Structure 1
Amino acid sequence: MTMQMNIRTVDGISMRWHEQGEGIPLILIHGIPTGPELWRHVLPRIKGARCLVWEMPGYAGSIRAGQDRDISVAKQADYLIAWMTALKIERAVFGGHDLGGGVAQIAAVRHPYRCGGLFLTNAIAYDSWPIPSVKALRATRGAVRHLPNAALKMIMATLFRRGHDDAEQAREALEMHFPYYRDNGGGAALARQVAALDVRDTTAVAPELSGLNIPARIAWGTADQFQKMRFGERLAHDLSAPLRRIEGGKHFTPEDHPDVIAEEINLLIASFGADDRQV
């Protein structure tokens, strides 16, 4: 699926997103090292929603927009709310994977009136992150900055192989997401991203999750070695949310299991009655 991106300057930042469909506003948020294309196979399966796939500043096609800016997960939540305000979206269902799930949690806790529902899949939460391989990249980010593109591609290929249970999707993901790094600073871009990661961003909001009292659903790959199953179980408990276990699924569930992810999102959307279809 080819994504046509919209662009708007918000608070001096050029922000990008893909939009399609009509209905309840649904904002989907990617993680690292991906972009909006993470959701490319999910989007055609979503029903009854105005889907807005937001690109975090500092990532994918917005890598250069993140230069000399705070691109931490907590700050991304601020950027998200500012972008929603610019688009006159008062409330929306948030859907997040990996870092995007952390952004969604933080935005929901800080601005509960802006989040009408929450979907999380293999998302960062609590103290589940950064994972060891990312910690290693952060510790050696001085060298990572100067990696030739061929070496960077090998690192990303390894990450995708470990994070996908579908080998063909792992190969497709590499070809989909790597060019953004290749064309926008390579290792320097990745070094900026990992340098901005701070587990305190999610631990700070963790005690507030159980008080959100919003419709939520969780879908989790049971074989994910990056974000372990126990964190999906904890999120389901704290959010009083149904938990869909994707047996044998690994980390990049929107790419490997788009049918399951879309089904869970559709169930969340369908849970809104006629009186609250605007979320």
Structure 2
Amino acid sequence: MQSHSITVDGIDMRWEETGAGDPLILIHGIPTCPALWREVAPRIEGRRVLAWEMPGYGASIPEGVDRDISIEAQAEYLAAWMRSLGIERAIVAAHDLGGGVAQIVAVRHPEMVAGLLLTNAICYDSWPVPLVDVVAKTGSIAKHAPDGAFHQLLKLMFSKGHETEEAAKAAFDAHGPHYARHGEAEAFVRQAQSLNVEDTKAIAYQLPKLGIPARIVWGEADDFQKIEYGERLASDLGAPLRRIEGGLHFTPEDHPQIIADEINALIRTVETDRAKAIPAESAV
């Protein structure tokens, strides 16, 4: 994937891109960046794949200083970025916090979202998880933690969220350096303190009204986002639920083929629905 950036409403926004065709947008969560999708993107069929980086995360951590980086705000940043690239409508696949962003965009800007895939995503009142909540509430202390303490916290999150230590190490190597370069604990505290569960609770009642193709993929053994929330999303969105037995939180890194298979299945559904709609529109 190739890195790109553009300034939108005074914010330097970054994304990774590969492929060609209609757009598919991938959204990461915390404490990750677009590299979360590094093994998924090459497996997507016939699409322009854009892995967007939320301002305040990854290489864009500096863009979060003195700026609202709540999930609700990120949804508006995403919509503005899409408009700046001339993307009128896209399929959106999202993980963790990115799932909350995707839900809000789909509700607030339904004309921009052609299909929705959510995997181990925040939703309803499922978040913030206890570990992140503690960091948010003890921010002033966490910022002055001893050297190396944040690295251990990050390693713990990846260890608890991946099925093997090898995968956890690969994730730390992919995402950890951004924190090391941009303030480490201070950056994570800023992210944690921006989180407000009301952002997803406020739009929850509108999810059943979306009426767009959707798919849910969930690691059944995830301690961060319980499977019951995946089941509720599947019910509200009228979507099939792909359960990953023994799967933990970071599904795009542990199970890239499964995630790609489900995204490709969603793409086919969207394309089929569009093909059916064309004759009806032509007859009007």
Pick the TM interval, shorter chain: over 0.9
Equivalent position amino acid for 1:128 in 2 = S
Q: TM-score, normalised by structure 1?
A: 0.96
What CA distance in whole angstroms lies between the structure 1 residues aligned with 2:149 and 2:249?
22
Per-residue CA deviation, residues 148-180 of structure 1 (Å, 9 max, x unaligned), is: 551111000011110011221111001111110
Aligned residue number for residue 139 of structure 1: 137
Aligned to 2:64: 66
Amino acid paired to 1:84: M
Q: How big is the shift at 1:146?
A: 2.3
Pick aligned residue for 2:44 from 46, 50, 55: 46
| Mapped contact 1:137–1:144 kept (Cα < 8 A) | yes
- Aligned pairs for 1:184-263 (under 5 A) are 184-263=182-261
Aligned 8 A contact 1:98 1:122 in 2: yes
Q: Secondary structure of 2:150's partner?
A: helix
Residue by residue over 1:192-235, the C-alpha shift from the partner in whole angstroms, topping out at 9 and shown as x without a partner, is 00000000000000000000000000000000000000000000
Contact 2:114/2:270, CA 8 A, preserved across alignment: no
CA contact (8 A) 2:115 2:270 kept: no
- Alignment partner, residue 178 of structure 2: 180
Summarize deviations over 1:98-125 as a string: whole Å, max 9, x none.
0000000000000000000000000000
Aligned to 2:118: 120
8 Å Cα contact 1:149-1:182 kept in structure 2 = no
Counterpart contact for 1:29–1:100, Cα < 8 Å? yes
Does the 8 A contact of 1:48 with 1:269 survive in 2? Answer: no
3-state SS, counterpart of residue 17 of structure 1? strand
Matched residue SS, 1:125: coil
Aligned counterpart, 1:168: 166
Alignment of 1:104-115 (within 5 A): 104-115=102-113
Partner Cα distance (1:12, 1:148) in 2: 35
1:64-87 deviation per Cα after TM superposition (whole angstroms, max 9, x unaligned): 011110000000000000000000
Q: Quick one: distance in 2 between partners of 1:167 and 1:23?
A: 36
Q: Flag the structure with larger Rg.
A: 2
How many corresponding residue pairs? Answer: 275
- C-alpha deviation, 1:49, in angstroms: 1.1
How many angstroms apart in 2 are the aligned matches of 1:149 and 1:112? 45
The equivalences for 1:21-40 within 5 A come to: 21-40=19-38
Deviation of 1:23 after TM superposition, in Å, equals 2.0
How far apart are 1:4 and its partner, in Å?
Answer: 2.8
**Cα distance in 1 for residues equivalent to 2:54 and 2:221:** 27
Offset, 1:143: 1.5
| Percent of aligned pairs with the same amino acid | 57
CA distance in 2, matches of 1:273, 1:168: 37
Structure 2: give runs of 5+ residues left out of the alignment.
276-284
> Matches of 1:4 and 1:149 in 2, distance apart?
33
Q: Residue 90 in 1 paired to residue 88 in 2?
A: yes
Determine the C-alpha separation between the residues in 2 that align with 1:148 and 1:12: 35
1:19 deviation in Å?
A: 1.0
Counterpart of 1:7 (choices 5, 8, 21) is: 5
Distance 2:48 2:188 in 1: 31
TM-score between the two structures when normalised by the length of structure 2: 0.95
C-alpha distance 236-275 of structure 1, shift in aligned 2 (>3 A): closer
Shift of 1:274: 6.1
Structure 1 segments (4+ residues) deviating >6 Å? none
> CA-atom RMSD, angstroms?
1.1
Q: Which of 156, 159, 163 is matched with 2:157 structurally?
A: 159
